[in-house]
Amino acid sequence: MDHLKRGVPNWLLFLFFGALIGGGIKIIFLQGFLKEDPYINYRLKTGALYVSPKLSIIPLRTSEAIQKGEQIYEKVCSSCHGAYGSYKSGLVGPSLSDSQWLHSNSEKKIGRLVLNGIGAGKSITGQLMPARAGASLSDSDVWSAVYFLSSQNSSIQKDSTSKK
């Protein structure tokens, strides 16, 4: 050990570990606390609040939920995903009425995706989707929209734990 130590002066060790620790602190601050809000422009434009992307209550699949989901789709989702059924592309988001899925065709995963949003790290097209569509939808609103989609689109795998 002694002969190794002799070759490395203390100031160099200090610099090396200092850089490591400094780099760590920088990563924590930049990626963590001071993370830039990727939806800031969208939120400023629409006045939408950021809502914590926590998963909780999943409502039953009732015809009321599906109807409510259709209204939510037309009011909120269609601004990016187009009018249901006729939209192919041209707006921000992909069509949700075809059988092509960038992320998942599972009802549960779709619900989680809408609750959490699609940030820069997860986006496939480079376009982002704000959590809860940037519209402070409740959990049950989000799941209603998902039930509406799966009631129309047979390529979506229905979650077996939900009632028919």
Binding residue (CB under 6 A) for ligand HEC from 48, 58, 131, 133 = 133
| Residue 98: DSSP 8-state | S
Q: Please provide residue 126's backbone torsions phi and psi, each rounded to the nearest 5 degrees.
A: 95, -15
If one asks whether residue 80 binds ligand HEC (CB under 6 A), the answer comes out as yes
If one asks whether residue 127 binds ligand HEC (CB under 6 A), the answer comes out as yes
Q: Give the closest residue to 59 by CA, choosing from 153, 162, 149.
A: 162
If one asks whether residue 58 binds ligand HEC (CB under 6 A), the answer comes out as no
Please state, in angstroms and rounded to a whole number, the distance separating the CA atoms of residues 145 and 148.
5
If one asks whether residue 110 binds ligand HEC (CB under 6 A), the answer comes out as yes
Burial class (CB in 10 A: 0-12, 13-18, 19+), 158: middle
If one asks whether residue 79 binds ligand HEC (CB under 6 A), the answer comes out as yes
Please state, in angstroms and rounded to a whole number, the distance separating the CA atoms of residues 78 and 73.
6
Choose between 79 and 152: whose C-beta lies nearer to ligand HEC. Answer: 79
Quick one: which segment of 12-20, 47-55, 58-66, 96-104 binds ligand HEC (CB under 6 A)? 96-104
Q: Give the closest residue to 137 by CA, choosing from 40, 84, 37, 59.
A: 59
Choose between 65 and 80: whose C-beta lies nearer to ligand HEC. Answer: 80
Residues in contact with ligand HEC by the rule CB under 6 A: 42, 72, 76-77, 79-81, 92-94, 96, 101-103, 110, 113-114, 118, 123-125, 127-130, 133-134, 145
